[in-house]
Structure 1
Amino acid sequence: MKQNNSAMKAITYSRFGDLNVLQTVDEPQPVAQADQVLVHVKAVSLNPLDWKIRKGEMRLMSGSTFPKHTGTDFAGIVERVGSSVTHVEPGDEVFGVVKNGMKEGALAEYVAVAASHVWKKPTSLEYAQAASIPTVGAAAVAALEKMGPLQAGTQVLVNGATGGFGMFLLQLLSNTDATITAVTSTNALELANAWGADRVIDYKKENVLSQQATYDVVIDLSGKMGYRNAKRILKRRARFINVIPQPADILASWVNNWFTGKKHLVLLSGPSSENMNRLIKAIDDGLQVEVSKTFPFAQAKEAYQYAERGGYVGKVAVTVA
């Protein structure tokens, strides 16, 4: 990518590791190529993928070339557009996602990204809310499609239901005929109900695996249940959706799906114009985007510390400017 002489601040790291590897640096402001948009970043939301990459857990896909940037989802104001870009123009308020989250990052004052990965911000949302949409919103749409037909009487269990992913998924599920059971923490029970759950289980007080209820679909957003445990509460031809698959899980899912009626499905997703437009329409129709807490750019390390600890509802964001 071409660069110019204007400097900007960005968060980078030069080795895999914990929060202490993050550093604020000055680097040249990127220049938008013909098919790109230069965005003055206003907010970036944090995702588990950010720290999985930083810790080296994804090095087979991210590579080990440094320095690396962090953050994938952002919102801001279009500064400049490339010569072939027509759907946005300077001054537009937008949200988007870097094209390759394994190798790029948005936690900087400016970001140049493919125009195909930028959408106009819903006017009802603040920047931090809009920055919370792409990764988990796209995953929620993909999960809904993975569940198959959701008819009256279909029992769906959402484990870890009130993080960013669950926030979108519960509200999308509420527009189906399925009966939704949400597993979450004490502080999020009311929100789970408000987002569309028919029944809410406080995991601190009840163990969903020890109950008599069984489900047609179980989706584990916490990454703690696993297919082996979920089988106990799956109906005979039910679906378990794994949203945080390890390479071994992908192989195991093939084996499980061949030999048993209980399907182990791996969710792989990414933002697209189709799913973003679906989410924008849902937001215009009243879908809520909850940001648990925002941190200023100077406290990006503290933001990641808070996000990695978990236990909050919705998303965590960093305000950049």
Structure 2
Amino acid sequence: MKAIVYQAFGDAEVLQMAEVPKPTIQSSEVLVKVKAFSINPMDWKIRKGEMKLMSGSKFPKYTGADFSGVVEEAGNAVTGFKKGDEVFGVVKNMMKEGASAEYIAISSSQIWKKPSNITFAQAASLPVVGTAALTALEKMGRIDPNTNILVNGATGGFGMILLQLLKQKGAHVTAVTSSNGMAFAKKWGADTVINYSKEDVLSRKETYDIVIDLSGKKGYANAKRIMKPHSRFLNPTPKPIEIPLALIQNLFTGKKHVIVLASPSTKYTDELLQAAAQGLNIEIHKVFPFQEFQDAYRYAEQGGYTGKVVIEQQ
């Protein structure tokens, strides 16, 4: 079968299409014919070697964490899934595994039935960013209409889900995005929308109970300028050194630096399935065919788009 692999850390050019053996399944696994997989920032962070302390330096490596497809075969210990079922899921360890192949063998605990009201591209876009948004929501603590929240980089895949969840909570949300994302930010529930190309949010006099930096460009040191005395900065894209550093910083200030590390689970996916059934908007910005995988990753890494970028195959 065909799979996207890489043999060294680097830019999108290191990604190659290779012939690899079609996987065989264990008794508790299913074989899924992959229809779509989405692109997430962690894909290129791992590929560029920024996460090598966790990913290791053993090659070949694969890419793509969340996917959708059709069950080709189910192990004899699997219940709840059968050949022909439309499913979506996420690899267990995105540091060492990938879904960027024609077929994937995966534990039945890592897949779910695809809702009929969303496409394969939408289903493949949901697990990673949806789990991250729900995890961030938990890290925010108690939220009510008096909670003033700033979401920086608000209209990528993560922000798309987070804004809709925050709207349900009734918080007052300020979204920072590009001119292309302003209409989407309002659609997804932001009360105030700032175009970062025209206004620097750090120059505003308003302060916030919670600041979450989805773009990774503001940072805790800058965000402190617009945080209330007892507030939280949520960091979903930490550098490895920031994880222990945040623990030390938090001992000496009321402005807490909170690291958000998300791991998909049945609990989160059940919530996402319920949200999807209730009309959660999953915006697919652009779909690339399997053969154009390098172009897809180059495009996604440039940023500035709204929603998710997805790779599909027949």
- TM class, shorter-length: over 0.9
Once the two structures are superposed, the pairs formed by residues 21-170 of structure 1 within 5 Å of their partners are: 21-170=14-163
Q: Which residue of 2 aligns with 1:315?
A: 308
TM-score normalised according to structure 2 size: 0.99
Q: Which residue of 1 aligns with 2:264?
A: 271
- CA positional deviation for 1:290: 0.5
Q: Which residue of 1 aligns with 2:172?
A: 179
Q: Which amino acid aligns with 1:30?
A: P
Q: Structure 1: state its 5+ residue gaps.
A: 1-7
Q: Separation in 1 of the partners of 2:247 and 2:93?
A: 27
Q: Which amino acid aligns with 1:309?
A: Q
Worse-superposed segment, 77-86 or 212-221: 77-86
Q: Which residue of 2 aligns with 1:211?
A: 204
* Partner-residue secondary structure (3-state), 1:30: coil
- Determine which of 235, 242, 249 is the counterpart of 2:242: 249
Worse-superposed segment, 285-294 or 15-24: 15-24
Q: Which residue of 1 aligns with 2:280?
A: 287
Q: Separation in 1 of the partners of 2:313 and 2:62?
A: 15
Q: Residues 238 and 261 of structure 1 are in contact (CA less than 8 Å); yes or no, is this contact kept in structure 2?
A: yes
Q: Which residue of 1 aligns with 2:9?
A: 16
Q: Separation in 1 of the partners of 2:11 and 2:262?
A: 26
Q: Separation in 1 of the partners of 2:248 and 2:136?
A: 21
- CA positional deviation for 1:247: 2.0
Q: Which amino acid aligns with 2:138?
A: E
- CA positional deviation for 1:73: 0.8
Q: Which amino acid aligns with 1:78?
A: V
Q: Which runs of 4+ in 1 moved over 6 A?
A: none
Q: Separation in 1 of the partners of 2:106 and 2:253?
A: 43
Q: Residues 108 and 320 of structure 1 are in contact (CA less than 8 Å); yes or no, is this contact kept in structure 2?
A: no
* Partner-residue secondary structure (3-state), 2:30: strand
Q: Separation in 1 of the partners of 2:295 and 2:119?
A: 21
Q: Separation in 2 of the partners of 1:106 and 1:15?
A: 18
Q: Deviations over 1:287-318 (max 9, x none)?
A: 10001000000000100010011111011000
Q: Separation in 1 of the partners of 2:52 and 2:206?
A: 40
Q: Deviations over 1:152-190 (max 9, x none)?
A: 211010000000000000001110121011000001101
Q: Residues 209 and 232 of structure 1 are in contact (CA less than 8 Å); yes or no, is this contact kept in structure 2?
A: yes
Q: Separation in 2 of the partners of 1:101 and 1:311?
A: 24
- Determine which of 275, 290, 306 is the counterpart of 2:299: 306
Q: Separation in 2 of the partners of 1:242 and 1:154?
A: 18
- CA positional deviation for 1:32: 1.4
Q: Separation in 2 of the partners of 1:100 and 1:164?
A: 20
TM-score normalised according to structure 1 size: 0.96
Q: CA RMSD in A?
A: 0.8
- CA positional deviation for 1:231: 0.5
Q: Separation in 1 of the partners of 2:236 and 2:127?
A: 16
Q: Which residue of 2 aligns with 1:5?
A: none
Q: Residues 217 and 238 of structure 1 are in contact (CA less than 8 Å); yes or no, is this contact kept in structure 2?
A: yes
- CA positional deviation for 1:65: 1.2
Q: Which amino acid aligns with 1:101?
A: M
Q: Separation in 2 of the partners of 1:15 and 1:217?
A: 39
* Partner-residue secondary structure (3-state), 1:75: strand
* Partner-residue secondary structure (3-state), 1:29: coil
Q: Deviations over 1:262-291 (max 9, x none)?
A: 111000111111101101101111110001
* Partner-residue secondary structure (3-state), 2:169: coil
